[in-house]
Amino acid sequence: MNVGIDLGTSNSLISYWQEGAVTLVPNEFSKTITPSVVGIDDNGEVVVGEIAKERLLSHPNLTASTFKQFMGTEKLYHLGDLSFSPIELSALVLKKLKLNAEAHIGDAVTEAVISVPAYFNNLQREATIEAARLAGLKVTSLLSEPTAAAIAYGLHKELDQTILVCDLGGGTYDVSLMELFEGIMQVESISGDNFLGGEDFTKVIVADIMAQCQLTESDLTNQQWSLIYEKAESAKRSLEERGVVTVNFRINQDHCYSLSLEHYETLCEPLLNRMKKPLVRVLRDGGLSLEEIDKVILVGGATKSVVIRKFITKLFKIFPFVSLEPDEAIAIGAGVQASMRSGDILQEEMMLTDVCSHTMGTEIVKETPTGFISGIYQPIIERNSAIPISRELPFSTIVDNQTELLFGIYQGEHSRVEDNLKIGEVRIKIPKGPKGHLVTCRFTYDINGILEVIVTDHKHDKTERLIIEEKPGSLSQQELVAALKKLDYLKVHPKDREINRLLLAKLDSLYVEHQGDLREQISRLSVSFEFVLDKQDDKKIRKMQQEVTQFIENISQHQFDWFD
């Protein structure tokens, strides 16, 4: 059976498709939410979930949480005499969810769609897949968390609008701008912050408690600090209902701490400002203003906060859309996607498109009057480009008698390659000759996370090719070949596509027929169209195609006005 899993920073859920709807699987405590916490009990046994969470306070040195934030890193968690990587800890959570599902369903669970933050890079995604493998699960798809939330809402609502999905979980924050039309959910742009979540909104209360009670972290034991954190978490939840809360606790002496909603809003201002940055970025990348957003969907447990809902309402001047339980939306969406992968839902019923979460490009060298500067990043596929996508750029040799070109393949947003993630490289041999010898480098990327890099020396009819899989080994060789074959239609420069060649030819024909100002207008439009085609931005090309088509139709409609 293929299930959907929300592998969260603070909590995790598992779901499956049953009788036309998604069902959330309860754990042994009859709760659908399982804490993403792992610990070692008094007998030296591993405990996961509710029991482990209860031991965070009493046994902080034997318990680990929020390890999802360090997926893809070499960080180790030392729990007593045992050490665990974030992958191993995540695998234990996934194994727990798998066992719960098998007990509930009465059938083996072998495959899963797992949600990940939209801003996870290849290393983090591969780490998630490895964790699933250790838990005995084959990942059929990695689904960005905001996209999963949108799928969940698409199941219940028929919307023809522009929607912003704001996902604030325990430790990560993701924003996704989506277009919903005619059964299609198209992601236009994504942004986020991997280190901002509900935990941070608790920590500001912790800091305020310690300041008011004149406590310093260095003077506290782990158990004492955990006690304060628990009191802060309780205060945060109670504040939503009461407006003012009072917390009493004893550390060396009795302490009393009071917090009002108004003061809490002030404490949260720096965090709310951090929330703004991805919102601005996602709107800028999508080419939209605040006023053009029709609906805002809030998901993630932290969005239950009245402070956050008030912030979003004030910013967008609309009430956020929260008809689904924020904690459950992502798991529901993952369950729907799992059923689509299994064929339980016909693909025609719901079409989902996604975007690249990171820019992908290559390393280049630039020549200056004083010499060469290496390590420059040249993007080929920009972040937030709709996928599948194929882009090609020309590159040339920089010195005479150069015999090789090396293309380092990188993922990231920084201008220097050293600050980005290297994911591969391609070398191509070329005959000696004058500098300036041209080759092309084409990146083709699909929704399965397959990146194909093709470097071509057209003059000598030579090609080098590299395939980078986001989920290595998840596709057989035959499936991989078939997936790449489907992308062949993309590997044509926009200038060479029939529709664009036809429009350019029509403009040229009109240029021949007319004179004066109209001829100049035709020339400007033709140059603008060719410029957009060179940029290979499908969204701008479609817009320009409409503009050119309308222009040609207008001229055609008025060509006989002289006889009227």
Q: Which residues of 264-279 are buried (b: 16+ CB within 10 A; e: fewer)?
A: beebbeebbeebeebb
SS3 273: helix
- pLDDT at 406 exceeding the cut of 60: yes
Residue 187: the pLDDT is 76
Single out the residue of 66, 70, 68, 71 nearest to residue 53, CA to CA.
66
Mean pLDDT to the nearest integer, 301-322 = 92
pLDDT tens-place string over residues 193-214: 878 989 899 999 999 999 999 9
Where do runs of H (alpha helix) occur along 215-370? Answer: 222-242, 261-286, 306-316, 329-342
Question: Is CATH 3.30.420.40 the classification given to domain 1-157+328-346?
Answer: yes
pLDDT band at 156 (very low <50, low <70, confident <90, very high): very low
pLDDT band at 559 (very low <50, low <70, confident <90, very high): low
360-488 and 198-267 share a CATH fold: no
Options 3.20.80.10, 2.70.150.10, 3.40.50.150, 3.90.640.10; CATH of 198-267: 3.90.640.10
Longest dimension (CA), the chain: 99
Residue 483: the pLDDT is 64
Q: Kindly list the strands in the beta sheet with 46-48, ordered across the sheet, starting from the edge strand earlier in the chain.
A: 46-48, 37-40, 63-65
CB contact set of 451 (below 8 Å; sequence gap of 6+): 360, 409, 423, 443, 444, 445, 467, 468, 469, 470
- More confident: 474 or 409: 409
SS3 209: helix
43-57, 117-131, 277-291: the lowest-pLDDT one: 117-131
Single out the residue of 338, 337, 331, 334 nearest to residue 351, CA to CA.
337
pLDDT tens-place string over residues 23-32: 999 999 999 9
Portion of the chain with pLDDT greater than 70, in percent: 92
Give yes or no for a contact between 43 and 62, defined as CB atoms under 8 angstroms apart.
no
Options 3.40.50.150, 2.60.34.10, 3.10.290.10, 3.40.50.620; CATH of 360-488: 2.60.34.10
Residue 158: the pLDDT is 56
Rounded to 10 degrees, what is the CA torsion of 101, 106, 109, 113?
-50
Mean pLDDT to the nearest integer, 479-483 = 68
User: What DSSP string describes 119-166?
Assistant: T--HHHHHHHHHHHHHTT-EEEEEEEHHHHHHHHHHHH----EEEEEE
Residue 351: the pLDDT is 56
Amino acid code (one letter) for 71: M
Mean pLDDT to the nearest integer, 415-431 = 94
130-139, 165-174, 303-312: the lowest-pLDDT one: 165-174
Q: Where are the domains of the chain?
A: 1-157+328-346, 198-267, 360-488, 495-563
| DSSP state at residue 458 | T
Q: Are strands 244-251 and 351-355 parallel, antiparallel or unpaired?
A: unpaired
Give yes or no for a contact between 503 and 533, defined as CB atoms under 8 angstroms apart.
no
- pLDDT at 560 exceeding the cut of 70: no
- pLDDT at 480 exceeding the cut of 70: no
176-190, 238-252, 360-374: the lowest-pLDDT one: 176-190
- pLDDT at 396 exceeding the cut of 80: yes
**Length of the chain, in residues:** 564
Mean pLDDT to the nearest integer, 296-322 = 92
Give yes or no for a contact between 397 and 430, defined as CB atoms under 8 angstroms apart.
yes
Residue with tokens 């600050």: 419
pLDDT band at 144 (very low <50, low <70, confident <90, very high): confident
pLDDT tens-place string over residues 356-391: 878 999 999 998 888 899 999 999 999 888 788 899
- pLDDT at 392 exceeding the cut of 90: yes
Q: How many Å apart are CA 190 and CA 93, to the nearest integer?
A: 27
Q: How many Å apart are CA 133 and CA 295, to the nearest integer?
A: 37
Pair of tokens at residue 314: 């004030």
Question: With DSSP H G I counted as helix, E B as strand and the rest as coil, what are the percentages for the chain, rounded to 5?
Answer: 40, 30, 25
Residue 562: the pLDDT is 47
Mean pLDDT to the nearest integer, 103-131 = 90
Residue 344: the pLDDT is 66
Residue with tokens 């959907």: 4
Pair of tokens at residue 69: 């934030």
What residues are paired with 443 via a beta bridge?
391, 453
